[in-house]
């Protein structure tokens, strides 16, 4: 009995020490981030205000003391609003302390720098608030569904076709390794889903066993990613050539996706910044996201074109999303394809009860453009090809009326 109690005590002590070390490592990481931020601020102030050595030493001492205070605020339990208020008070206190070290001319410059930072933050907040308000009026589910459908119908078949071409250029040994990596990733994905379902109730308070399991899985995933990257580098020339083959398709996809966003009221306003600012923003984006696949990013719609994902893509695997969409389309009353359309499109419609059926084409404002058909139809499935050569807008809608009611289907017209 004593041995059991002793073992249990040892386990509890070990768990306690582990939890303390985890909390400490988190605090250390935050401290390092703060130190880096303070170093950048110091460099900026030294350059702008032309600080002498004595001033630099004094300001560094202020930053060091406030870094510890900031960590104490973060570690303190309480509401986020209270912490934010404490941080603002600390920033004002820090600014006053810095001003005491500066000359009168430097103080004026320092106040200008602070005013510019506040203005910049205000602009950012306003921008984010506008975006948030705009998103409130967007049917996110409908947008996501339309983008997903477009991706499955238009993008994936072309990418799979290109991947099938690469398959003939890969050696048998590498094919075997790629299949092993795919299998490992699939097993990890399923295991991860199971772990997340189990953690939903206590995501904030993970047990040590759950933390260890997640850490182990991340480490195993890194090993597989390194293997996949090595293989992708080996076939980089072939992958690049296959990507270049479909450059015209990529440009069309970008145009179509922009039109879908526009249809849902998310068109971006033209940039008011000059060419120099645009170049700076482009360089910054390259630094953040990497130079290699910058033009294939676009909100993740072309992820499969990135070297590693492209290599691991199985061209012969059945796409669950495509099968699901096909099942939905089979039972749909009204379907339009291709969507986006150019020059023409096909309208497939299902008549459940015999009677008069009318199909009209309307613009995005709801105005009637033309009547496609208005006649008696027996119950069954029908198809009509519609010429769109005379249309000038972006978004249109078919309206079908029959005995069962009214059905609508939107489509985008590609210029």
Q: What is the number of residues in the chain?
A: 415
Examine the domain organization and report whether 116 and 190 are in the same domain.
no
Pairwise CA distance, residues 325 & 191, whole Å:
27
- 227 shares its domain with 160: yes
Residue 74's domain comprises 2-136
- Kindly report, residue by residue over 188-227, the tens digit of the pLDDT: 887 777 666 655 545 556 677 777 888 888 888 888 889 9
Please indicate, yes or no, whether residues 176 and 41 belong to a single structural domain of this protein. Answer: no
Q: How far is Cα 349 from Cα 356, in angstroms, rounded to an integer?
A: 13
Cis peptide before 340 (omega within 30 of 0): yes
Kindly state whether residues 73 and 149 are assigned to the same domain. no
Give the CATH number for residue 360: 2.60.40.3080
Please report whether residue 327 resides in a domain: no
Name the domain count of the chain. 3
CA distance 255 to 301: 12
- Assigned domain for 235 exists: yes
Using a 10 angstrom Cβ sphere, with 0-12 exposed, 13-18 middle and 19 or more buried, the burial of residue 70 is: buried
Asked if residue 403 is part of any domain, the answer here is yes
Quote the CA–CA distance of 308 and 299 in Å, as a whole number.
18
Query: Is the link from the previous residue into 338 a cis peptide, with omega within 30 of 0?
Result: yes
Are 7 and 91 members of one domain?
yes
Note whether 124 and 145 are same-domain residues: no
Residue 8 lies in a domain: yes
Cβ atoms within 10 Å of 371's Cβ, excluding its own? 11
Higher per-residue confidence, 264 vs 136: 264
pLDDT of the residue at 196 = 65
Q: Is residue 305 part of a domain?
A: yes
Please name the helix (run of DSSP H) or strand (run of DSSP E) that holds residue 335, with its range, or none: strand 334-342
Query: pLDDT digit string (tens) for 79-121?
Result: 778 888 888 888 888 888 888 888 988 888 888 888 888 888 8
Higher pLDDT, 278 or 181: 181
Instruction: Write out pLDDT tens, residues 366-404.
Output: 889 999 999 999 999 999 999 888 887 778 889 999 988
Nearest to 99 by CA among 147, 62, 130: 62
Mean of the pLDDT values across residues 27-40? 75
Among candidate residues 40, 322, 381, the one with its CA nearest the CA of residue 159: 322
| Whether residues 260 and 145 fall in one domain | yes
- 80 and 151 housed in the same domain: no
Query: 313 near 186, Cβ under 8 Å?
Result: no
Q: Are residues 77 and 166 in the same domain?
A: no
Tell me which of 99, 115, 136 is where a domain ends: 136
* Distance between CA atoms of residues 169 and 358, nearest Å: 53
* Residue 376 CA neighbour count, 13 Å, CB half: 2
Asked if 42 and 163 sit in the same domain, the reply is no
Query: Dihedral angle at the C-alpha atoms of 195, 200, 201, 205, nearest 10 degrees?
Result: 70
Q: What is the DSSP string of 151-207?
A: IIIIIHHHHHHHHHHHHTTS-HHHHHHHHHHHHHHHHHHHHHHHHHHHHGGGSSS--
Say if residue 254's pLDDT is above 80.
yes
Q: What is the mean pLDDT of residues 18-30?
A: 53
Determine the pLDDT at residue 4.
56
Sequence-ordered list of residues with C-beta below 8 angstroms from that of 385, at least 6 positions apart, any chain: 344, 345, 346, 347
Other C-beta atoms lying within 10 Å of the C-beta of residue 90:
15
Tell me whether residue 114 is in a domain: yes
In a domain, 317, yes or no: no
Maximum mean pLDDT: which of 50-54, 132-136, 204-208: 50-54
Can you give 53-88 as a three-state secondary structure string?
Answer: HHHHHHHHHHHHHHHHHHHHHHHCCCCHHHHHHHHH
pLDDT for 12? 53
**Could you write out the DSSP letters of every residue in 337-382?**
EEEEEESEEEEEEEESSSEEEEEEEEETTS-EEEEEEEEEE-SEEE
What was the pLDDT predicted at 358? 93
Distance CA 411, CA 389 (A): 15
Boundary (domain end) residue, out of 136, 165, 185: 136
Which has the closest alpha carbon to 158: 270, 261, 243?
243
The burial class, CB within 10 Å (0-12 / 13-18 / 19+), for 293 is middle
413 three-class SS: strand
Inside any domain, residue 320: no
DSSP β-bridge partners for residue 355? 377
Local structure of residue 268 (DSSP, 8 states): P
Same domain flag for 281 and 351: no
Both 156 and 83 in a single domain?
A: no
Query: Among 136, 160, 177, where does a domain finish?
Result: 136
Average pLDDT estimate for 144-150 = 84
CA distance 395 to 259: 8
């Amino acid at each position: 009995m004593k041995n059991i109690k002793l073992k249990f005590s040892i386990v509890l002590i070990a768990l306690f020490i582990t939890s303390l070390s985890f909390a400490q490592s988190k605090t250390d990481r935050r401290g390092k981030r703060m130190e880096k931020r303070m170093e950048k601020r110091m460099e900026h102030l030294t350059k702008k205000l032309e600080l002498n050595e004595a001033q630099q030493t004094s300001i560094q001492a202020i930053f060091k003391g406030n870094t510890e205070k900031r960590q104490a605020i973060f570690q303190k339990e309480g509401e986020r609003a209270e912490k934010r208020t404490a941080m603002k008070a600390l920033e004002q206190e820090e600014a006053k302390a810095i001003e005491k070290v500066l000359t009168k001319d430097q103080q004026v410059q320092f106040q200008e720098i602070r005013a510019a930072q506040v203005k910049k933050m205000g602009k950012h907040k306003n921008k984010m608030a506008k975006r948030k308000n705009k998103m409130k009026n967007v049917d996110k589910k409908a947008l996501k569904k339309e983008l997903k459908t477009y991706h499955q119908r238009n993008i994936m078949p072309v990418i799979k076709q290109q991947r099938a071409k690469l398959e003939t250029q890969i050696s048998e040994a590498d094919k075997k390794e790629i299949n092993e990596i795919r299998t490992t990733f699939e097993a990890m994905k399923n295991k991860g889903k199971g772990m997340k379902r189990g953690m939903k109730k206590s995501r904030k308070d993970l047990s040590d066993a759950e933390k260890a399991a997640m850490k182990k899985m991340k480490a195993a995933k890194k090993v597989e990613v390194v293997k996949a990257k090595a293989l992708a580098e080996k076939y980089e020339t072939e992958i690049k050539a296959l990507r270049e083959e479909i450059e015209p398709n990529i440009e069309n996809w970008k145009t179509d996706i922009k039109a879908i966003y526009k249809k849902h009221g998310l068109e971006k306003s033209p940039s008011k910044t000059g060419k120099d600012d645009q170049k700076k923003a482009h360089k910054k984006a390259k630094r953040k996201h990497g130079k290699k696949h910058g033009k294939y990013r676009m909100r993740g719609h072309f992820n499969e074109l990135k070297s590693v994902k492209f290599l691991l893509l199985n061209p012969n695997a059945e796409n669950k999303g495509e099968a699901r969409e096909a099942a939905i389309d089979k039972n749909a009353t009204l379907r339009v394809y291709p969507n986006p359309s150019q020059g023409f499109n096909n309208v497939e419609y299902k008549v459940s009860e015999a009677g008069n059926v009318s199909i009209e084409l309307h613009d995005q404002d709801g105005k009637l453009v033309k009547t496609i058909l208005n006649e008696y139809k027996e119950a069954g499935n029908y198809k009509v090809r519609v010429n769109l050569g005379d249309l000038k807008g972006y978004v249109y809608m078919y309206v079908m009326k029959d005995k069962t009611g009214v059905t609508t289907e939107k489509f985008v017209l590609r210029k």
